[in-house]
Chains A and B, each alone.
Chain A
């Protein structure tokens, strides 16, 4: 399968703690993206990291990419109750003539307790 696989499936932490979620994939990629979903509705794009990048920051988010291990991690620092959501990684495979689709994992359900 080309889709990413998130780990863990569920994560429960206290406010103020850091949350780390991992994503593994199987094929070479152009980029990897992280999305957030609240309450089973639309996803919101968080951050995109390209295959030639190793680390990227956006506010309290830090994403790393290790193409040799085909893995990525999403770190949320100083978590808040409002960070409670499902987090998905999505890979954009380095495809030949096939264009366009992302491959989403099953997601990590993060719960942050006040």
Chain B
């Protein structure tokens, strides 16, 4: 595909229900990132994947949040027993590669986001 896609674009759920958010990265991009953004705020890092492994899960706010990535491509972010404070836009990004040292991190390409509303 031409860019990062996310589904659904909008999700309204009731408090206590589980939700799954999906991200399709750009083909060939090995790194994938999840962020969330509350209204009028900056980006809050959640987790990133290099291939299928997640070297950094430090941003997941609680054990109700989990993410997986299979086949080095599609990723799913799952929120269990949703709470009202989970309401936000969840953004996914991918990049071609990660290299350490002076090469640093590649440009990240963002999807349009999923707007989650927990009633």
Closest 9 CB pairs of A and B: A30-B104, A106-B42, A42-B110, A104-B43, A92-B105, A92-B104, A43-B110, A42-B112, A100-B98
For chain B, the bracket of interface size reads: 20 to 34
* Interface: A97 (CB within 8 A): yes
A40 in contact with B39 (CB, 8 Å): yes
A residues engaging B (CB < 8 A)? 3, 29-31, 33, 35, 40-45, 48, 50-51, 88, 90, 92, 94-95, 97-107
Residues of B within 8 A of A107 (CB): 42
Stretch in B12-20, B48-56, B66-74, B75-83 with 4+ CB within 8 Å of A: B48-56
Q: Closest CB of chain B to A46's CB: distance in Å?
A: 10
Q: Does residue B37 face the partner (Cβ distance < 8 Å to A)? A: yes
Assess whether A30 is in contact with B42, with CB atoms less than 8 Å apart: no
Q: List chain A residues, Cβ under 8 A from B102.
A: 30, 51, 94
- Say whether B56 contacts A45, CB under 8 Å: no
26 A-B pairs with CB atoms under 8 Å apart are: A3-B42, A30-B101, A30-B104, A31-B105, A40-B39, A40-B113, A42-B4, A42-B110, A42-B111, A42-B113, A43-B93, A43-B110, A88-B42, A90-B108, A92-B104, A94-B104, A99-B50, A99-B55, A99-B100, A100-B98, A101-B33, A101-B56, A101-B105, A103-B45, A104-B35, A106-B41
